[in-house]
């Protein structure tokens, strides 16, 4: 249903005929970690996330998985080597 509280005009799963059914009756504002994210939208009552009603919960266990401004800290691991193929390769080369 279309939101009539914080983000008027946007479709929201929390909006019911009786009003916003989200915890607290409205979306929660973005937190400092969301600064610079492409999903932050400015509304008359503050800045909110286009995707989540409670942005703080997306940062509880680390980086928000939809954050457009923060890169993942996971480094790509070294290329895996198949031990069987490596053994055959070394036999062919006479090592
Ligand atoms: S997608 Fe994640 S980082 Fe971006 S505004 Fe929403 S909660 Fe914040």
15-66, pLDDT tens digit by residue? 999 999 998 899 999 999 999 999 999 988 899 999 999 999 999 999 999 9
State the average pLDDT over residues 61-86: 83
Ligand 1 centroid to residue 2 C-alpha, Å: 21
- Ligand 1 neighbours (beta carbon < 6 A): 30, 34, 37, 39-40, 49, 51-52, 55, 58, 64, 66-67
Q: Which long-range contacts (CB under 8 A, 24 or more apart) does 62-69 make?
A: 64/33, 64/34, 64/37, 66/39, 67/33, 67/34, 67/37, 68/37, 68/38, 68/39, 69/35, 69/36, 69/37, 69/38
Nearest alpha carbon, ligand 1 atom 6:
49
Least confident of 6-10, 19-23, 38-42, 87-91: 6-10
For residue 59, give the ligand 1 atom closest to its CA: 7
* pTM score, whole prediction: 0.70
Q: Does residue 6 carry a pLDDT above 70?
A: yes
């Amino acid at each position: 249903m279309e939101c009539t509280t914080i983000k008027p005009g946007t479709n929201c799963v929390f909006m019911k005929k009786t009003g916003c059914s989200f915890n607290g009756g409205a979306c929660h504002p973005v937190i400092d970690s969301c600064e610079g994210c492409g999903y932050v939208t400015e509304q008359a009552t503050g800045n909110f996330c286009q995707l989540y009603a409670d942005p703080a919960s997306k940062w509880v266990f680390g980086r928000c998985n939809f954050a457009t401004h923060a890169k993942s800290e996971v480094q790509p691991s070294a290329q895996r080597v198949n031990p069987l193929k490596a053994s055959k390769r070394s036999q062919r080369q006479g090592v």
